[in-house]
């Protein structure tokens, strides 16, 4: 295999403002997670290489293809079911080594001496083909259960069996039980250093065995079956966990009892999935460290991972029901290939050999490397226009690298997306996709010359500038002001509702409040506070202008502009009494000075009243008649005192203090006195009147 290395970066460069030019760049495996490809491998350094295509080297008439082993010289062995047969495929020629009186061949293994070992189910048989050639010789036939997998461990052959779950080792007298498994079936085996890892079916356990002591559990999956194990460098082992039978969709079987592992095919079945913290899933890949700790490496949302192999590009995963090859690099999964079959049953030799089912075929990578990779949908955040894609690096000769693009308004590509643009050479690839929020590119690599490094692909974009949105313009009660901190100490501040004793405060003009926290509440007579909420779809910083309009007058008067705050206390003593409303205009000019977008919102009508009420006191028999009148605002407080004694509240004659005209009666008193009355309207304007009582 002579692949071409391709380095593609996809990192979004940060920008101070969303409407400035950004770039899509992909150059790491995590950034390529979700990419879909056909014949392009992603490597840990972020490079991508086209692979030779998967070509069919042998087809089989049996309905089940279940086992695969590949020798160092490229000879492949295939085991089938219904009937159970073993084939050798060498130099493109298929040869039947033998048919076995069993339901299915379950596993194949080539030992260090070159002998081929075969296990079966229903019934359980262990067979051998010396030197990988016919005939098949029966070596052992356990009395119960089935044999599921083989491993060459510490100089001998170990077999996974069930039901009951156990490990068998081949000795001079046949197969002997060397360890029992706390599950129905020992399902799969993998050798990692001086340890044997065992995946089980029924409870979904991964165990480790040192060859002497009882196996110990290192992982208890929420799934019911460990379908495959794959050793990786550094003592790491990967496990594929799934629920029940991937073909028949049997429910979870966590309890002990009778049953077996069924590997027959039902194309119409839907697998049952367990509940997980992040929702339903059909399979997961677990990374088991040399120390025995296990971590989740990847969880598939739909695919059922049934077979694993470690190769040059990382972990290769074959999925059932979809017939796909995936790779897992640095915890990120990308689609490697799709095959014309229902299931990928086995992968071997790092993913270069593939056994499929529905139909049963043996595939091998060969020929000139050629592949395509489609990026994950790239989210510009808002509708955007695209620049010209550029590529840095040496390009393969003869047009061996092309790019094309498409765009859409929904995150998942569907029929609403644009058609793919015409393929353009990577050296000059204008992005002709229509403006939209999402973009995809497709890279095609078909090199004709020696290995060539392809540099990064950069796609510039700029969001279409959308106008800001202004909402929830709030007008607070008269006199309310908000300060981020206490006012300067030389000012007298009353944090209670204003009274006649006076309110003196100043506004912190430098405060930069937010809609979430407008500050601490104070009062100051003659002020009207408004606040608003504003957002920008592009994430641009906003500046605000506040204007005021009097009822009946079409003119707007500017109050403040270039504001960064979203709360403003306005001195309304500069306005004549009357009805007014405010207009707040937001602008994204800081990020778009050449063509800013604006949006405005209006407040409700409010009353501006800077005139105190009028208090009239007249004698009426043995009482004083008091009237309080205000032109615009209802009376909020009325009090009286005699001879500078404490103030007493006054109750209006109608019993309710709620109108602009109120009347009161105060009993007269003999002797010479001074009677004072004060009144406050709801704008905190106050007036005081006094009369002299005489005998």
- Mean pLDDT confidence for 260-276: 33
Q: How far apart are CA 425 and CA 404, in angstroms?
A: 9
Residue 263 has pLDDT above 50, yes or no: no
User: Kind and range of the H or E element at 519?
Assistant: none
What are the distances in angstroms from CA 105 to CA 85, 86, 101, 488?
A: 7, 8, 10, 88
Residue 450 has pLDDT above 70, yes or no: no
Please answer whether residues 648 and 664 qualify as being in contact, where contact means their C-beta atoms are separated by less than 8 angstroms: no
Predicted confidence (pLDDT) per residue in 112-141, tens digit: 999 999 999 999 999 999 999 999 999 999
- What are the φ and ψ backbone dihedral angles of 233, each rounded to 5 degrees? -60, 155
406 domain residue, yes or no: yes
Residue 581 has pLDDT above 50, yes or no: yes
476 and 440 housed in the same domain: no
Asked which of 319, 350, 366 is the last residue of a domain, the reply is 366
Q: Which residue has the higher pLDDT, 103 or 272?
A: 103
15 and 35 housed in the same domain: yes
Q: Which residue has the higher pLDDT, 248 or 461?
A: 461
pLDDT band of residue 419 (cuts 50, 70, 90) is very high
457 and 600 housed in the same domain: no
* Token pair in block for residue 237: 């082992």
How much of the chain exceeds pLDDT 70, in percent? 84
User: How many other C-beta atoms are found inside a 10 Å radius of the C-beta of residue 595?
Assistant: 9
- Least confidently predicted of 180-184, 217-221, 276-280, 505-509: 505-509
Please answer whether residues 513 and 484 qualify as being in contact, where contact means their C-beta atoms are separated by less than 8 angstroms: yes
263 domain residue, yes or no: no
Q: What is the pLDDT of residue 354?
A: 96
Q: What is the pLDDT of residue 394?
A: 59
Residue 284 has pLDDT above 60, yes or no: yes
Residue 686 has pLDDT above 80, yes or no: yes
Asked which of 608, 636, 661 is the last residue of a domain, the reply is 608
* Token pair in block for residue 178: 């060397």
Q: What is the pLDDT of residue 313?
A: 80
Asked which of 462, 488, 513 is the last residue of a domain, the reply is 462
Predicted confidence (pLDDT) per residue in 360-404, tens digit: 999 999 888 888 888 889 999 989 999 988 776 556 666 678 899
Q: What is the pLDDT of residue 1?
A: 34
* Token pair in block for residue 501: 């004793």
Residue 173 has pLDDT above 50, yes or no: yes
396 and 507 housed in the same domain: no
1 domain residue, yes or no: no
261 domain residue, yes or no: no
- What are the φ and ψ backbone dihedral angles of 295, each rounded to 5 degrees? -130, 150
Q: What is the pLDDT of residue 517?
A: 55
Number of domains the chain contains? 4
572 and 489 housed in the same domain: yes
Q: How far apart are CA 462 and CA 588, in angstroms?
A: 15
Dihedral sign for Cα 187, 192, 193, 195, please.
negative
Residue 498 has pLDDT above 60, yes or no: no
260 domain residue, yes or no: no
346 and 276 housed in the same domain: yes
β-strand partners of 181: none
Please answer whether residues 110 and 132 qualify as being in contact, where contact means their C-beta atoms are separated by less than 8 angstroms: yes
Say how far residue 145 (Cα) sits from the centre of its chain: 45
384 and 409 housed in the same domain: yes
574 domain residue, yes or no: yes
602 and 543 housed in the same domain: yes
Q: What is the pLDDT of residue 544?
A: 95
CATH number at residue 42: 2.60.120
- Mean pLDDT confidence for 401-419: 94
Task: Note the pTM of the prediction, 2 decimals.
Answer: 0.66
Q: Helices marked H in 494-628 — which ranges?
A: none
323 SS3 class: coil
154 and 275 housed in the same domain: yes
Q: What is the pLDDT of residue 448?
A: 64
323 and 450 housed in the same domain: no
Q: What is the pLDDT of residue 366?
A: 87
CATH number at residue 596: 2.60.40.10
Q: What is the pLDDT of residue 512?
A: 44
User: Is there a cis peptide before residue 135, judged by omega within 30 degrees of 0?
Assistant: yes
293 and 237 housed in the same domain: yes
Give me the domain span that covers residue 111.
Answer: 54-253+268-366
User: Kind and range of the H or E element at 347?
Assistant: strand 343-348
Which of 113, 203, 122 is CA-nearest to residue 152?
A: 113
Q: Residue 333: left (phi > 0), alpha (psi -120 to 50), or beta?
A: beta
Q: What is the pLDDT of residue 453?
A: 53
Q: What is the pLDDT of residue 592?
A: 85
Q: What is the pLDDT of residue 19?
A: 59
Please answer whether residues 284 and 301 qualify as being in contact, where contact means their C-beta atoms are separated by less than 8 angstroms: no
Q: What is the pLDDT of residue 487?
A: 64
CATH number at residue 667: 2.60.40.650
Predicted confidence (pLDDT) per residue in 313-364, tens digit: 889 999 987 789 999 887 788 888 888 889 999 999 989 999 999 999 999 9
258 domain residue, yes or no: no
Which of 460, 430, 361 is CA-nearest to residue 87?
A: 361
* Token pair in block for residue 394: 């040496």
User: How many other C-beta atoms are found inside a 10 Å radius of the C-beta of residue 363?
Assistant: 23
- Mean pLDDT confidence for 48-68: 91
511 domain residue, yes or no: yes
165 and 293 housed in the same domain: yes
Helices (H) and strands (E) in the chain, counts: 0, 58
**What is the residue whose two structure tokens read 């032109």?**
631
Residue 414 has pLDDT above 90, yes or no: yes
Round the average pLDDT of the chain to a whole number and report it.
83
């Amino acid at each position: 295999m002579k692949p071409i290395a391709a380095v593609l970066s996809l990192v979004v460069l940060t920008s101070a403002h969303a409407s400035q030019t950004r770039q899509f760049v992909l150059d790491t495996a995590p950034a390529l997670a979700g990419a879909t490809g056909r014949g392009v491998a992603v490597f840990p350094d972020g490079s991508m290489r086209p692979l030779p295509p998967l070509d069919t080297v042998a087809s089989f008439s049996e309905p089940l293809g279940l086992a695969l082993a590949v020798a160092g010289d490229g000879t492949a062995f295939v085991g089938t079911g219904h009937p159970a047969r073993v084939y050798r495929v060498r130099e493109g020629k298929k040869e039947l080594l033998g048919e076995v009186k069993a339901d299915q061949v379950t596993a194949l293994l080539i030992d260090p001496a070159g002998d081929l070992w075969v296990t079966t189910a229903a019934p359980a048989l262990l067979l051998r083909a010396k030197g990988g050639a016919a005939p098949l010789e029966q070596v052992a036939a356990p009395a119960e259960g089935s044999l599921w997998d083989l491993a060459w461990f510490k100089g001998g052959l170990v077999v996974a069996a069930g039901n009951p779950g156990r490990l068998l080792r081949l000795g001079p007298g046949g197969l002997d039980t060397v360890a029992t498994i706390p599950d129905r079936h020992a399902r799969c085996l993998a050798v990692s250093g001086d340890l044997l890892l065992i995946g089980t079916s029924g409870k979904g356990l991964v165990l480790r065995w040192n060859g002497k002591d009882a196996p110990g559990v290192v992982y208890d999956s929420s799934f019911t079956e460990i379908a495959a194990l794959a050793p990786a460098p550094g003592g790491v082992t990967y496990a594929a966990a799934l629920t029940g039978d991937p073909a028949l969709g049997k429910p979870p079987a966590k309890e002990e009892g009778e049953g077996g592992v069924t590997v027959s095919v039902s194309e119409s079945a839907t697998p049952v999935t367990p509940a997980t913290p992040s929702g339903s899933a059909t399979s997961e890949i677990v990374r088991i460290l040399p120390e025995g700790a296990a971590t989740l490496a990847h969880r598939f949302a739909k695919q059922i991972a049934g077979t694993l192999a470690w190769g040059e590009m990382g972990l290769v995963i074959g999925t059932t029901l979809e017939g796909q090859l995936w790779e897992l690099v640095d915890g990120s999964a990308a689609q490697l290939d799709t095959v014309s079959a229902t299931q990928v049953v086995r992968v071997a030799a790092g993913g270069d050999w593939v056994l499929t089912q529905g139909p049963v075929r043996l595939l091998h990578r060969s020929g000139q490397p050629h592949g395509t990779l489609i990026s994950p949908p790239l989210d510009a955040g808002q509708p955007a226009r695209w620049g010209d894609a550029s590529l840095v690096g040496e390009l393969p000769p003869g047009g061996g690298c092309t790019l094309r693009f498409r765009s859409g308004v929904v995150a998942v590509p569907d029929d609403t997306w644009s058609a793919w643009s015409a393929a353009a050479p990577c050296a000059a690839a204008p992005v002709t996709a229509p403006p939209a929020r999402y973009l995809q590119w497709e890279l095609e690599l078909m090199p004709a010359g020696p290995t060539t490094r392809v540099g990064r692909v950069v796609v510039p974009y700029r969001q279409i500038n959308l106008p800001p949105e202004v909402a929830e313009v709030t007008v607070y009660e008269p006199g309310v002001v908000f300060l981020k901190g206490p006012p300067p100490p030389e000012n007298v501040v009353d944090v209670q509702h204003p009274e006649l004793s006076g309110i003196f405060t100043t506004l912190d003009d430098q405060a930069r409040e937010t809609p979430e926290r407008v500050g601490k509440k104070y009062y100051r007579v003659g002020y009207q506070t408004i606040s608003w909420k504003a957002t920008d779809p592009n994430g641009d910083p906003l500046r605000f202008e506040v204007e005021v309009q009097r009822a009946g007058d079409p003119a707007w008067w500017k109050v403040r502009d270039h504001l960064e705050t979203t709360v403003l206390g306005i001195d309304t003593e500069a306005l004549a009494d009357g009805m007014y409303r405010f207009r707040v205009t937001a602008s994204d000019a800081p990020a778009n000075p050449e063509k800013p977008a604006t949006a405005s919102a209006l407040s409700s009508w409010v009353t501006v009243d800077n005139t105190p009420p009028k208090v009239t006191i007249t004698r009426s028999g043995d009482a004083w008649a008091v009237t309080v009148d205000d032109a615009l605002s209802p009376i909020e407080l009325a009090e009286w005192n005699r001879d500078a004694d404490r103030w007493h509240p006054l109750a209006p004659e109608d019993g309710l203090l709620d109108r602009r005209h109120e009347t009161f009666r105060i009993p007269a008193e003999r002797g010479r006195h001074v009677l004072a009355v004060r009144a406050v309207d709801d704008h905190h304007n106050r007036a005081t009147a006094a009369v002299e009582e005489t005998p």
